[in-house]
Amino acid sequence: MPAIVSVAEAIPEHVLTQDQVMDFARDLFSDSFKDIERLLKAFQNGQIEKRHFVKDLEWFKTDKTFEERNNAYIEQAIVLGTKAVKSCLENSIFLNRSLPYDEIDAIFTISSSGIATPSIEARIMNELPFSEHAKRIPIWGLGCAGGASGLSRAYEYCLAFPKAKVLVLTIELCSLTFQRNDRSKSNLIGTSLFADGAACALITGDEVLRDFQKLSSIPRIVGTQSTTMRNSLDVMGWEVKNDGLYVVFSKDIPSIIQGWLKPNVTEFLRSKEMEMEEINHFVAHPGGKKVIDAYQKALQINPGMTETSLDVLKEFGNMSSATILYVLKRFMEIGSQGDTGLATALGPGFSSELLLLEWG
């Protein structure tokens, strides 16, 4: 089975505490909501302590055009994406030696927070010495599910081409979509959750001689399942307007998870002749504290199984598609022979992506 060999993060330079962002939101939204202090409890209840952004707080205090924000997205996506790729292929935690760029057969680039044509990996190929024949597979619009979906598509690619070495590059600059003049509750909640970040994973096929692999045990992808709920387009996503991307974020997401996720997971695991009780590592995208709580209730799992996801949420916030790779990296550092893992992420559609992992 295809294996995940290396994962690396690229963290933006600007750090804001949750209190700083809350004060910013209070100043901006106080005239729009009479009960602003009650609504601001979302910043505290979410258990996020800090987040990283590609711009400092002053940048967000003045209006920016869609063009200005998208140009900033392209510029910073190239910087962070290049850093994530280099860190992944030169990673001393997971690799015995650096892997040459020209050995990469395909790059899956995952992002939903900006628009670029040519796509971001084409621009990064002018920064790093990839083969000119490397296949480019940009994927846009999967939101928070994108990181897990990218791993699934890379798995399928490596099944078809067992000698392949593939990168999954996730880049999300959610802050650059912020709309100062959108005084909706969705925008306020989004302001309390979302952040910027990038990550890159290396996936290889069965027939790759992995003399560069450092860890004795790495997760193999045993199988995947993609599911889209019918008639659920209004649960999350973007509404495209003249000023750019406006967040769509339903308050019903936690309850939807509780009712929908368990049968979805049960069906997937039983198709692999497994039960949730056999899973050692729950590699979950932490969409927010309420989402993590919904995972626990829906799947009836011990709170300890979501600690790693919660730790990533506390330290980085919700970086959309990139977040699950931050969680995966931490599990790769502690996983051992015979461990099993379930990776899961939810996104627009409304959709879920599941991956079954086995360390071997």
Would you name the residues annotated as active-site residues?
144
Q: Which amino acid is at 71?
A: N
**Residue the block writes with tokens 């339903």:** 250
Return d(Cα 316, Cα 18) in angstroms, integer.
Answer: 10
Read off the tokens for 108: 């899956």
Q: Which amino acid is at 21?
A: V
Return d(Cα 175, Cα 245) in angstroms, integer.
Answer: 11
Return d(Cα 164, Cα 104) in angstroms, integer.
Answer: 7
Return d(Cα 150, Cα 109) in angstroms, integer.
Answer: 8
Cβ atoms of 347 and 353 closer than 8 Å: yes
Return d(Cα 177, Cα 238) in angstroms, integer.
Answer: 10
**Residue the block writes with tokens 């009650």:** 38
Cβ atoms of 300 and 337 closer than 8 Å: no
129 three-state secondary structure? coil
Q: What DSSP character marks residue 46?
A: T
Return d(Cα 179, Cα 191) in angstroms, integer.
Answer: 10
Cβ atoms of 224 and 343 closer than 8 Å: no
Q: Which amino acid is at 122?
A: A
Cβ atoms of 230 and 216 closer than 8 Å: no
